[in-house]
Amino acid sequence: MFALVLSAAFAFINLQGTYSGLPPILDPDFKLWVDRSNGPGLMVWNLNLVKGVSDNASLGKSAIQGRDAVELAIYQSGAGSRLVYASISQTLDGGRLTALLNSTIGIWIIKEQCHCDANPFNSTAVILAVEVDDGEHTISFIFSDERQGAQTLLNHRIVFMPTPSDTWSLREFDVGKQYIAAHWAMPDRLVFSITFGAAASAVGWHTAYVNSIIIIKSALQNPLPPLAANWVVSISRLIWVSRSD
């Protein structure tokens, strides 16, 4: 299992252009899938589905507008007053967390209209967001329709990122800078998640798509040299193959 995770981690390097430091996100292009009893699932991402008896939420492989994607699909029945959502997450600490907090991250997404600009907590909101949670503080990067800016509500900071609907968009965010702006101490551990949810009055099917997560810019001064990174990738894959035989 250790070697498998290494392979997932260093697959990240192939997507990052000149960046070759420690990968903050494992399997950032969502290429590693396994067969589960209820269908295909992501190997190194944790899946969380929250729904009522009459609702539905799922994750699957897709291809849309010329790109492979993870599809997050939810059905809000309107029965009751609960939020329906699907999320995928990873826990980061150590060097991976250091890399995240010192990088500008990009994510390729397709969203639908969020109806969340006036109030992200309204009953018709359909929200796709990246969230980080360190157990004490939460930052939500919400892909809004037009609203931009940030607000802090006690231990929750919301960053609104205007994003076109129904087309691929690359959006950039910086977790470390948001911790500084909120005057919070840097965490030593956090959960990084991509979450898609529909509030109680947003009745019907809703879908969001994620293609990949990339490093746009890193402030780290000593990333892993490219040749060394490639060597680690090769060795980790060999170990996994030998253990699988």
Structure tokens at 35: 């067969």
pLDDT computed for residue 80 by the predictor: 80
Structure tokens at 59: 């994750």
Class of domain 22-222: mainly beta
Q: Where are the beta strands (DSSP E) in the chain?
A: 33-36, 39-42, 46-50, 56-64, 67-76, 84-93, 103-110, 126-133, 138-144, 149-153, 156-162, 169-173, 189-198, 204-218
For the ranges 34-48, 125-139, 166-180, 188-202, which has the lowest average pLDDT?
34-48
pLDDT computed for residue 31 by the predictor: 95
Where residue 20 falls among pLDDT bands split at 50, 70, 90?
low
| Torsion, CA 184, CA 188, CA 189, CA 194, rounded to 10 | 50
Please give the model's pTM, rounded to 2 decimal places: 0.82
**CB hemisphere CA count around 116 (13 angstroms):** 29
pLDDT in tens, 155-204: 999 999 999 999 999 999 999 999 999 999 999 999 999 999 999 999 99
Where residue 38 falls among pLDDT bands split at 50, 70, 90?
confident
- The residues that bridge with 48 in the sheet, in sequence order, are 87
C-alpha 159/C-alpha 132 separation (Å) is 12
Mean residue pLDDT across the chain: 85
pLDDT at 9 over 70: no
C-alpha 225/C-alpha 59 separation (Å) is 35
pLDDT computed for residue 82 by the predictor: 87
pLDDT computed for residue 70 by the predictor: 97
